[in-house]
Structure 1
């Protein structure tokens, strides 16, 4: 048996809300054995013993054994997006079906936008495959069909990045960039590409790409349109995010100052026409300042900056608002204010459960809180299931 069985046994028992004594009674094993396993005094046990423990805990025996818990958790997500990946790489449907119309596909695309804004990933997983196939056919039939396909590829790339389907996201975003009609549309796609690179840990590439496009899109502040300010400022925030993660504090702060100048020139939160899932303005910059503080392990500064964020002016974009709330929860956890950390996570779950379930950051935060507790409250156990915290 794996040397990790004691750790896993303790984690699952806590998730089930059982004491060691209760587990001993329900499994028919000795309390002494369970204590020795959990404390690491014994690193192995017979398979039959593991089966009895698993039966009492209502989990498969393999949950207590040596398989990678993280990979098991990821597999659930991977399977959900298989139809979308097939639609991205597959051939258009045969001529037996009616040909899609520009009005029909455009209307369908407009109708799915609330699903993107509301983080309704399960519904998007079902709707996107036929919509992607229709957009592919339409692009070959109508002069404006390619513009519709670009927009859909941008959205799909954003969604797949959000749900950690990185290879498929890269494919969708590359296609969107190749067919972009102008510089601003291209900048919108590059912004998401930089986010994808950040999530993959490719910091230098993200910084260089964001810097290149920020230089190309820099406007004259006195004459810049909201679209131009949003594109430039959003790319500067990517430069700052990549730099702070790559231990380049000077570059991170310089990019943040420029982004703040763009936000001040904007004067408000703005959602560009070409990128309605992202906002830019003074509030967004404030959120990203707090994010940078969390990256450099300044939870005290995160909590201080959080009090300065005008919550009533936040637009409903999960990737800004909820990402910031994860930083706040993490700051509470790191300062041992565990009840407040759980309260923030619970609030995110109530607002956007499907978004939360795709955040490895949330699993990390909750995992740290859980590891400090001998027993879990019902709220903690519910959250653990919601964020797919491995047992």
Structure 2
């Protein structure tokens, strides 16, 4: 399969505009004539002015068009435009730059409703939509902060914390690690100004997740553990909101411990997670997350898969009867963990059935995940059934990637 740098500049422009943007559309978007666009894609002529206008219209860095760095995985034009707008919102608000006047700032009550809407989109797995909502949300929250009377800014800083944390989560999932680091740093500053211990812990957990995806595992675990300890409630007096925050924190600590291969630590955190879920009795949503007994059980499946404890993972899967109370994103992730456990157990067809159902149900969510390709690679070593159909759903070229054995290529 060709590397990104193997394509010509013209080919890279064509790939980046994709099937949804025609040459005539790109001409209108850039203000350049159609012949100029055609010559650029034919590698006949590309001036610096043309390069910059095309890059801006496609939401891509000029270095990507020139082949100096590859585009981010699963990055489409809409993704790139969303990330560009979100990046501007994060950096502009942090610098105190405000669009419009603060006199038009929404009320704190309205912003709390916006917070819920943004998190709803995120937990449905609609990451591009969540990012598109987060950009204006940041601007509105910043306007509210500047409009607040002196000495009454704490709650507004709390809203800013939520907006920056959401931006960091979206950026992290969409592979924009620099923006994720920046946004979570601004979230930390806002949480401290809000003097809100719960938000400070939530931000620390968010930073831990950024570290996890950046392979900084020891730092990720230290932060996850600290944030869980900081908000551990007294169970006899804990509210549902407090238990939700604590349960999701210890769940995540178990995830990080499992990535480090620490079975004892992971088991300890899973025990706390299950106990918290049992105390709650049902799923509950708070602080931009959802937790309960089903969340604890499904997360434990992924932890045991990561630790190579396939038997335990399958036993848990058999005990989980209803996941309808989970968010769409959590259900999708559970399906991936389930498919991986089935693949590890060499139940190839079951694994592909589980994977295909999830991919068909949530194609947009799946675009930003790496696990589907990992599962297909694992199944491809021993099974040929359905592989080509499933590979198309994740946009993988199975033959050129070497996922299919030679016999499978002729059979399929």
TM-score, structure 1 length as denominator? 0.72
Aligned counterparts, 1:341-360, within 5 A: 341-360=351-370
Q: Show the counterpart of 2:161.
A: 150
Contact 2:134-2:166 within 8 A present in 1 as well: no
Q: Show the counterpart of 1:30.
A: none
1:134 has 2:140 as partner: yes
1:268 has 2:282 as partner: yes
Q: Show the counterpart of 2:106.
A: 101
Counterparts of 1:171 and 1:106 in 2: how far apart (Å)?
A: 23
> CA deviation digits over 1:222-246, x for unaligned, max 9?
1212222222222222222222222
Counterparts of 2:232 and 2:120 in 1: how far apart (Å)?
A: 31
Counterparts of 1:73 and 1:172 in 2: how far apart (Å)?
A: 19
Distance 1:127 1:94, change over 3 A: closer
Distance 1:165 1:260, change over 3 A: same
* Cα drift, residue 371 of structure 1: 5.3
Q: Show the counterpart of 1:200.
A: 214
> CA deviation digits over 1:332-367, x for unaligned, max 9?
223333322222122222332211110011221123
> CA deviation digits over 1:177-219, x for unaligned, max 9?
2222322222222232222222222111121112222222222
Counterparts of 1:305 and 1:366 in 2: how far apart (Å)?
A: 23
* Cα drift, residue 306 of structure 1: 0.7
Contact 1:184-1:227 within 8 A present in 2 as well: no
Counterparts of 2:397 and 2:293 in 1: how far apart (Å)?
A: 30
Secondary structure at the residue paired with 1:271?
strand
Of 79, 84, 87, the match for 2:86 = 84
Counterparts of 2:381 and 2:70 in 1: how far apart (Å)?
A: 20
Secondary structure at the residue paired with 2:75?
helix
Contact 2:74-2:367 within 8 A present in 1 as well: no
Of 340, 355, 378, the match for 2:350 = 340
* Cα drift, residue 268 of structure 1: 1.9
1:298 has 2:309 as partner: yes
* Cα drift, residue 97 of structure 1: 9.7
- Larger deviation, residues 99-108 vs 255-264: 99-108
Counterparts of 1:126 and 1:216 in 2: how far apart (Å)?
A: 32
Q: Show the counterpart of 1:44.
A: none
Contact 1:118-1:352 within 8 A present in 2 as well: no
Q: Show the counterpart of 1:247.
A: 261
1:368 has 2:394 as partner: no
Q: Show the counterpart of 2:42.
A: none
Counterparts of 1:125 and 1:390 in 2: how far apart (Å)?
A: 33
* Cα drift, residue 286 of structure 1: 1.0
Higher relative contact order (CA closer than 8 Å, sequence separation 6+) = 1
Query: How many positions carry a matched residue from both structures?
Result: 323
Distance 1:212 1:2, change over 3 A: closer
Secondary structure at the residue paired with 1:74?
coil
Contact 1:363-1:387 within 8 A present in 2 as well: no
Counterparts of 1:95 and 1:223 in 2: how far apart (Å)?
A: 45
Distance 1:120 1:288, change over 3 A: closer
Aligned counterparts, 1:369-384, within 5 A: 369-370=379-380, 372=382, 379-384=389-394
In structure 2, stretches of 5+ residues that fail to align are 4-66, 402-412
Distance 1:109 1:263, change over 3 A: closer
Distance 1:111 1:239, change over 3 A: closer
Of 225, 232, 251, the match for 2:239 = 225
TM-score, structure 2 length as denominator? 0.68
> CA deviation digits over 1:137-167, x for unaligned, max 9?
3321224533322221222222222222222
- Larger deviation, residues 121-130 vs 165-174: 121-130
Q: Show the counterpart of 1:177.
A: 188
- Larger deviation, residues 376-385 vs 80-89: 376-385
In structure 1, stretches of 5+ residues that fail to align are 4-67
Distance 1:255 1:110, change over 3 A: closer
Q: Show the counterpart of 2:340.
A: 330
Counterparts of 2:106 and 2:384 in 1: how far apart (Å)?
A: 60
